[in-house]
């Protein structure tokens, strides 16, 4: 691995996608369900790859190619070697909801004081995490690495690569039940991050207002706490004023309260913001810099994002959907003092035996809300008898152009997952 790592250090950067190769790229050929980059070695070299790692024995004689048994394992081993070699301080993040928003908030806060690297987008799986680690350079003081999972043991594997100096679980909730088997399975898998941090004697940022997280923490005392109950956290915070965007107050160790007007919609984001405050305080970012960073952060990725069109005001939260986040979004929308409310909801996936009950619960919640219109997108809604228009695909919904285009001077919540492609509705709104 040392030889391969020295070659990597002489390259211009890592890639697993031939479309992103530039002169000097270190390319690792991966095999997926629908592709095999091991058949693209010639293409990679022709595009300027500095070195290629492949399982294709056809290229074993080339000096600029390394043939291995498993390229994914090699990618992960290389990332682990790089992480150890650099020794960069790393904050690790996982959780059911809010991972990416929290990661971005933390990175924004830390960037006030440090040269900070953060996971790009949501590259948080068995491929994305090692790629993120390999993108950290010696110029970075600190990195914020997001880890996701849809089956038991996955966080343990990723955390062992990352070896975070500190970290947090945003929350635990109903998501990927099909893969985890049960809610208990979700909890145990998320707790794997805590286990790795404890093993390395690191610091855990803990939301002590969340009983699930305190249960998973156990008696580990190397913690830095935040809370929304005014009594249990080193960092305490609360919603200062209800409105479209989150307005909060926070204090450090019962000291002065600081007010922050954010550009994030949803009171459910309070805990995510307080997590960023806690990390910032722990790493000695000034209180004023923390406030400024959070106030200037503006989501642009269909997460808790406000979009103003010529005709409507839209809360766009269409990147991830599970029962926990769906209920939080609807509750927040219901609490807003809006007239002319419209909801466009995508179906929730990977819920296994919970699929029927969780979708039925959402419909019951919709029935109790004062809404002008509701549109349901996704085949999971098909079994329910309801007055709301249902569509298998967003493309089907867009075919009723006259209904969607008739929406004017409305306040619209769009909530779903990337698989629902609900962002496409913006072209009609």
Q: Which residue has the tokens 């029962």?
A: 323
Quote the pLDDT of residue 175.
Answer: 59
The terminus-to-terminus CA distance of the chain in angstroms comes to: 53
Quote the pLDDT of residue 4.
Answer: 97
Q: For residue 381, is pLDDT > 90?
A: yes
Can you tell me the distance from the alpha carbon of 167 to that of 243, in angstroms, rounded to the nearest whole number? 30
For 155-194, give the DSSP string: HHHHHHHH--SEEEE----S--HHHHSSHHHHHHHHHHHH
Task: Of 347, 330, 419, 425, give the one whose Cα is nearest residue 383.
Answer: 347
Q: For residue 405, is pLDDT > 70?
A: no
Q: In order of start, what are the domains of the chain with their CATH numbers? A: 2-69 (3.40.1390.10), 87-296 (3.40.1190.10), 305-428 (3.90.190.20)
Quote the pLDDT of residue 357.
Answer: 93
Mean pLDDT, range 139-165, rounded to an integer: 94
Tens digits of residue pLDDT in 122-142: 789 999 999 999 999 999 999
For 48-112, give the DSSP string: T-SEEEES-GGGTT-TTEEE-S-HHHHHHHHHHHHHHHH--EEEEEE-SSSHHHHHHHHHHHHTT
Q: For residue 280, is pLDDT > 70?
A: yes
The CA-based dihedral angle spanning residues 80, 123, 325, 142, taken in that order and rounded to the nearest 10 degrees: 60
Angle at 178 between CA 174 and CA 183, to 5 degrees: 35
How far is CA 80 from each of CA 19, 87, 101, 116, 226, rounded to the nearest angstrom? Answer: 25, 11, 25, 19, 30
The CA-based dihedral angle spanning residues 258, 169, 139, 133, taken in that order and rounded to the nearest 10 degrees: -160
Question: Distance from CA of residue 421 to its chain's centroid?
Answer: 17
Can you tell me the distance from the alpha carbon of 119 to that of 279, in angstroms, rounded to the nearest whole number? 16
Quote the pLDDT of residue 394.
Answer: 85
Quote the pLDDT of residue 319.
Answer: 85
**Six-digit token string for 374:** 């509701």
Can you tell me the distance from the alpha carbon of 360 to that of 181, in angstroms, rounded to the nearest whole number? 20
Mean pLDDT, range 105-114, rounded to an integer: 98
Can you tell me the distance from the alpha carbon of 296 to that of 82, in angstroms, rounded to the nearest whole number? 33
Quote the pLDDT of residue 96.
Answer: 86
Question: Distance from CA of residue 9 to its chain's centroid?
Answer: 29
Tens digits of residue pLDDT in 220-243: 999 999 999 877 789 999 999 888
Quote the pLDDT of residue 231.
Answer: 74
Q: Are 51 and 64 in contact (CB under 8 A)?
A: yes
Q: For residue 182, is pLDDT > 80?
A: no
Task: Of 16, 14, 8, give the one whose Cα is nearest residue 54.
Answer: 16
Quote the pLDDT of residue 404.
Answer: 58
**Six-digit token string for 301:** 């990725």
Q: Which residues pair with 413 in a beta bridge?
A: 315, 343
Q: For residue 160, is pLDDT > 70?
A: yes
Quote the pLDDT of residue 150.
Answer: 77
359: which DSSP letter?
H
pLDDT band at 179; cut points 50, 70, 90: low
Mean pLDDT, range 26-36, rounded to an integer: 93
Mean pLDDT, range 366-392, rounded to an integer: 92
pLDDT band at 199; cut points 50, 70, 90: very high
Can you tell me the distance from the alpha carbon of 354 to that of 362, in angstroms, rounded to the nearest whole number? 12
pLDDT band at 178; cut points 50, 70, 90: low
Phi and psi, residue 411, nearest 5° = -105, 115
Q: For residue 219, is pLDDT > 70?
A: yes
Tens digits of residue pLDDT in 285-323: 999 999 999 999 998 777 888 999 988 999 999 888 889
Quote the pLDDT of residue 34.
Answer: 86
Sign of the Cα torsion 170, 202, 129, 111 reads positive
Q: For residue 176, is pLDDT > 80?
A: no
Q: Which residues pair with 306 in a beta bridge?
A: 315
Q: For residue 428, is pLDDT > 90?
A: no
Which is more confidently placed, 149 or 213?
213
Mean pLDDT, range 322-328, rounded to an integer: 90
Residues 6+ apart with CB under 8 A from 326: 345, 348, 362, 415
Quote the pLDDT of residue 402.
Answer: 58
Mean pLDDT, range 102-106, rounded to an integer: 97
Quote the pLDDT of residue 149.
Answer: 82
Q: Which residues pair with 252 in a beta bridge?
A: 235
Mean pLDDT, range 14-34, rounded to an integer: 94
Quote the pLDDT of residue 164.
Answer: 98
Instruction: Please state, as a whole number, how many other Cβ atoms lie within 10 Å of the Cβ of residue 150.
Output: 15
Q: pTM for the whole thing?
A: 0.90
278: which DSSP letter?
H
Can you tell me the distance from the alpha carbon of 259 to that of 391, in angstroms, rounded to the nearest whole number? 43
Q: Are 204 and 217 in contact (CB under 8 A)?
A: yes
């Amino acid at each position: 691995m040392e030889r391969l790592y020295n070659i990597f250090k002489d390259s211009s950067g890592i890639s697993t996608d031939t479309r992103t190769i530039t002169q000097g790229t270190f390319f690792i050929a991966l095999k997926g369900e629908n592709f095999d980059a091991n058949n693209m070695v010639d293409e990679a070299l022709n595009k300027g790859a500095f070195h290629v790692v492949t399982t294709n024995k056809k290229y074993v004689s080339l000096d600029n190619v390394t043939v291995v048994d498993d390229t994914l394992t090699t990618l992960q081993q290389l990332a682990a070697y790089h992480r150890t070699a650099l020794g960069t301080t790393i904050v690790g993040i996982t959780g059911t909801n809010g991972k990416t928003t929290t990661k971005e908030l933390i990175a924004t806060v830390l960037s006030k004081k440090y040269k900070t690297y953060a996971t790009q987008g949501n590259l948080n799986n068995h491929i994305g995490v090692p790629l993120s680690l390999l993108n950290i350079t010696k110029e970075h003081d600190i990195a914020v690495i997001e880890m996701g999972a849809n089956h038991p043991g996955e966080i343990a594997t990723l955390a062992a690569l990352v070896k975070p100096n500190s970290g947090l679980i945003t929350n635990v909730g109903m998501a990927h039940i099909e893969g985890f088997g049960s809610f208990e399975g979700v909890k145990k898998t998320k707790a794997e991050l805590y286990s790795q941090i404890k093993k390395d004697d690191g610091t855990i940022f803990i939301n002590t207002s969340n009983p699930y997280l305190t249960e998973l923490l156990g008696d580990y005392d190397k913690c830095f706490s935040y809370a929304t109950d005014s009594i249990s956290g080193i960092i305490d915070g609360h919603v200062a004023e209800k409105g479209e965007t989150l307005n909060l107050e926070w204090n450090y160790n019962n000291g002065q309260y600081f007010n922050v007007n954010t550009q994030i919609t949803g009171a459910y984001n309070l805990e995510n913001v307080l997590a960023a405050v806690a990390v910032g305080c722990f790493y000695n970012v000034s209180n004023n810099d923390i406030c400024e960073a959070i106030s200037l952060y503006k989501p642009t990725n269909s997460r808790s994002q406000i979009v103003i069109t010529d005709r409507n005001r839209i809360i766009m939260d269409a990147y991830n959907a599970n029962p926990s986040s769906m209920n939080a979004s609807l509750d927040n929308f219901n609490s807003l003092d809006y007239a002319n409310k419209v909801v466009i909801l995508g179906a929730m996936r990977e819920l296994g035996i919970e699929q029927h009950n969780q979708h039925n619960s959402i419909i019951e919640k919709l029935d109790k809300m004062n809404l002008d219109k509701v549109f349901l997108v996704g085949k999971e809604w098909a079994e329910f008898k309801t007055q709301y228009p249902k569509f298998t695909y967003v493309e089907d919904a867009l075919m009723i152009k006259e209904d969607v285009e008739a929406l004017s001077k409305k306040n619209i919540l769009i909530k779903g997952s990337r698989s629902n492609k609900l962002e496409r509705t913006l072209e009609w709104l």
